[in-house]
Structure 1
Amino acid sequence: MKAFVLTGYNKKAPLQPMDMPVPTPNDDEVLVQVHAAGVNVLDSKLRDGEFKLILPYHLPVILGHDVAGVVVQVGARVRQFQPGDEVYARLDDFRIGGFAEFVVVQEASLAPKPKGLTMEEAASVPLVALTAWQALVEKAQLKPGQKVFIQAGSGGVGTLAIQLAKHLGATVATTTSTANVAFVKGLGADTVVDYKTQSFADVLRDQDVVLNSQDTKTLQQSVGVLKRGGKLISISGPPDPAFGQAIAAPGFVRVVMWLLSAGIRRLAKRRSIAYAFLFMRPSGAQLREITALFDAGVLRPVVDRVFPFESTNEAMAYVDAGRSRGKVVVKVR
């Protein structure tokens, strides 16, 4: 099968197109013929070597975390799927490989594809939708009437998080560029801060929850817009000790995480704010709930561009530029 392979950590270096063997599913796995694969910042960070401490992959490895496709073979213990099923998934860490014609997926991480979505649309969903779900439903436990600030509203996570927060009954604030103000309002944002002309720190106050996806400066400013007792959830770091414990990181890695997050944890504690780092995990069960929201028309995918499979490196470069509206996808089949 054709695949795009990371052979060595190298910032912005192209992945290598290679012929690889079709993987064989274990008893609890499903072999999926990939029709489309989502492209994420996470793929770029892995390529650049930024996550070597958290995700120490043995190279070479096929990148790609989001897939949509058709089941072609199931393991002996698989009960929920059969050949011919249309499915989608966020692949498990250390079991990635979406930039390929076939991939094996753990049954527990797989879900039926939303019926009304194309393969390309479905491939844009899993990672960003699960991130939004785990941030807003699990960690924040967002309630009707609460105020949530979702940064980068026109990005992949932002476009889904705004829609989900509105479904949960929250009042939503977000940031975006001038060109995307009307777009994010159309997704449901109540307050939109044009970061080219305003600072959110001057506009927003008394937020119950902040979903941070930006740099250290933005993270520190986010503390100031939260009410006392609010929740600051970051998907861009720094990792905190609780995350190190959850992934059973080695002792020296936990020390590094403790040091990296010490500043923001102290700042948050002074304001009685709870800080948490989120590195989303695959979940077929949560994807089924998300599927139901797409099937009901509550959520809709936002796809910026679809690249042909042979242009996977160009798709990653487009994501690296940081200007995509919603998600970028490669059409594999």
Structure 2
Amino acid sequence: MKAAIINSFGDPNVLSLDNDFPKPDIKKNQVLIKVIATGINPLDYKIRKGELRQVLGKKFPMVLGNDAAGIVVKCGDEAHGFKVGDHVYGMTDSYEKPSYFGFAKTGSYAEYVATRADTLSLKPSNLTFEEAASVPLCALTSYQVLVKKSKLSKEIVF
């Protein structure tokens, strides 16, 4: 599969296209998504620059990208709520369990990404794949500011 990868930390020039990157395998609680659109946000360039290497490590090659929208092509035995062919979006995380530090393992700058089922939602039919891929981190950031930092109640927010 094709994937935009980095083999070292640095400026945008460290990004390269690998035309023969291995397609990810899935765990029992994961789904494999054919990526139609991916979001690009500040988290990605911070990872590329190496600013989060203390938390994420520095195993190369690394595929960047967390936000994605696409089509489910394979489901693990315990990946409930989705079936092959579903249009989905979310902030992908290819770790089998959520990270203790709260950081996801990246990978949506590729033709396929493996992610836990709990990181996904069905894509609303009134959104394009590109629109859906732009939502996850922005929505999470807004939620954190409104509910966690500003202490607004859920009744006010939702």
TM-score for both structures, normalised by structure 2: 0.85
Shift of 1:138: 3.1
CA distance in 1, matches of 2:48, 2:33: 24
CA distance in 1, matches of 2:117, 2:80: 8
Query: Does the 8 Å contact 1:88/1:122 carry over to 2?
Result: yes
CA RMSD of aligned residues (A): 1.8
SS at match of 2:43: helix
Shift of 1:14: 3.6
Query: Does the 8 Å contact 1:57/1:94 carry over to 2?
Result: no
Shift of 1:58: 1.2
Shift of 1:143: 5.5
SS at match of 2:144: helix
Q: Give unmatched runs, 5+ long, in structure 1.
A: 145-166, 169-292, 294-333
Indicate the structure (1 or 2) with the bigger Cα radius of gyration. Answer: 1
Spell out the pairing of 1:1-333 with structure 2 (5 A cutoff).
1-18=1-18, 19-92=20-93, 93-142=103-152, 168=157
CA distance in 2, matches of 1:136, 1:38: 22
SS at match of 1:70: strand
TM-score for both structures, normalised by structure 1: 0.42
Equivalent residue letter for 1:40: N
Shift of 1:41: 1.3
Query: Does the 8 Å contact 2:8/2:14 carry over to 1?
Result: no
* Structure with more contact order per residue of length (Cα contacts < 8 Å, sep ≥ 6): 2
CA distance in 2, matches of 1:6, 1:45: 13
Q: Give unmatched runs, 5+ long, in structure 2.
A: 94-102
Shift of 1:103: 0.4
Query: Does the 8 Å contact 2:72/2:83 carry over to 1?
Result: yes
CA distance in 2, matches of 1:122, 1:14: 27
Equivalent residue letter for 2:77: A
Equivalent residue letter for 2:85: G
Query: Does the 8 Å contact 1:95/1:105 carry over to 2?
Result: no
